[in-house]
Amino acid sequence: MSPAIRTAFHFCASMLENLSDNLPEYRLNHALHTPAPISTITFGNSGHLFAGSDDGSLRVYDLSSFKVCKAIRGLPAEISSVCCFKRSGSHLRDIWLACGRQAYSFQMDLEKLVLTAADATASVELCNEEDVLNELALNSSKSHLAFSTDSGAVGVMDLSTKTITRMKTGHSSICGIVRFIPDRPREIVSGGYDSCLLHFDFLQGAVLSRRDIPPFAAAGGMSLSPPFIMSAAMATNGVMAAGTADGRLWLGFGGEKGGPTKSAKKKRSRKWEGFNPEDEHLEKIAEGPIVAMAFSDPSTLTVSTLLGSIKQYRIVFQEGQELQLVKIWEGQTSAIGKVNALIIDERRFIVAGLTDAAKGIIEIWNRESPP
């Protein structure tokens, strides 16, 4: 064993020993089944789950009873993304959802149990006839809605005026990822099947920085899959994670607020520096595509492969040392043939997609040990 490997081994062993009193344990609690595959999920409040399907339907589940308490049906295309936001006086969250070329807004507290497109409070076409929406994201002030499309376009809509700003540079292939950067009111990031991450000032529509993920062969490995960006997550402190089709996890921590980095800077910079090559980590963690991920806190990341291998990592970085990914839990979905989405809170993670029979399924895994 080389000195470097021995040092890394002892470091990880020490970390696991220190974490042993608080290692999580998750167990499958309940499975929900739908006629069509589940394409997107998100939490409403602590007691509601919103689930969009390929057939243009959306269900709102009460997580205490696992029953549907509200639904939308008859939308013209797959619901590819849902964003919830609170409106004063409403128990149910209002939503923006992506469906085909349109973004629809609904107030979910209407007396009707089942809503249709006619009940939408707004409907805005965000892309042309040859294109389709992939992901939506709301900023923290709920004033702007970002979107990504199959053509590689990235844009932002001002919700007060419905003004749409498209970025001057897009991706050369499908763009499935878009995120607002915490505490950066005018900055977003996107990721695409061109293996590229882009960072924009969305008010100017200009690229501020970019990161191209190299093929695995460039790092001395072998993979039949290109490094398409398949999933991403943004922590509240500005750390970003992205998962690739060849099973690698990229972490950019140069934009972390107040945290240690390799580069000698910690004063707040004029723009987010999450793509700084000196402050990143790229590691192969799976044999298949990493299609979903979520931070439960700034140092804990849960990821899923396409076939439902779930892993949770603690991200450990101390000044003067290399970042370490410490795996603290691993499991396998029970009946999901292909995973499309994963979300997590302090009590559970929820993973959704389709069964081998191409029906929809949602698995709810509860955390057994205290947080």
CA 282/CA 303 separation, integer angstroms: 15
- Residue 7: pLDDT band (50, 70, 90) is very low
Residues 1-8, mean pLDDT to the nearest whole number? 42
Q: How many separate domains does the chain show? A: 1
Cβ atoms of residues 40 and 340 within 8 Å: yes
- Residue 312: pLDDT over 80: yes
Distance of CA 182 to CAs 266, 271, 315, Å? 17, 12, 19
* pLDDT at 22 (0 to 100): 73
Q: Which two tokens stand for residue 195?
A: 């293996």
Its sign, for the CA torsion 267, 268, 269, 274, is positive
In this structure, how many other beta carbons lie within 10 angstroms of the beta carbon of residue 101? 18
Domain that holds residue 278: 3-265+272-367
Distance separating alpha carbons of residues 194 and 128, to the nearest angstrom: 21
pLDDT in tens, 101-120: 999 999 999 999 999 999 99
pLDDT tens-place string over residues 179-217:
999 999 999 999 999 999 999 999 999 999 999 999 986
Distance (Å) of CA 315 to CA 7, 99, 114, 289, 298: 17, 35, 43, 20, 8
292, 283 Cβ separation under 8 angstroms: no
Q: Is 0.85 topped by the overall pTM? A: yes
pLDDT reported for residue 174:
98
Taking alpha carbons only, the member of 84, 85, 81, 86 closest to residue 102 is 81
Taking alpha carbons only, the member of 313, 314, 324, 248 closest to residue 287 is: 248
pLDDT beyond 90 at 219 = no
Q: Is the pLDDT of residue 222 over 80?
A: no
CATH of the domain at 312: 2.130.10.10
* Angle, alpha carbons 51-53-55 (nearest 5°): 150
With 50 as the cut, is the pLDDT of residue 9 above it? Answer: no
Q: Give residue for tokens 């029953």.
A: 67
Residue predicted with more confidence, 17 or 78: 78
Mean pLDDT score, 310-335: 90
Exposure string of 333-366, with b = 16+ CB inside 10 Å and e = fewer, is beebbbbbbbbbeeebbbbbbbeeeeebbbbbbe
pLDDT average, residue stretch 35-64: 96
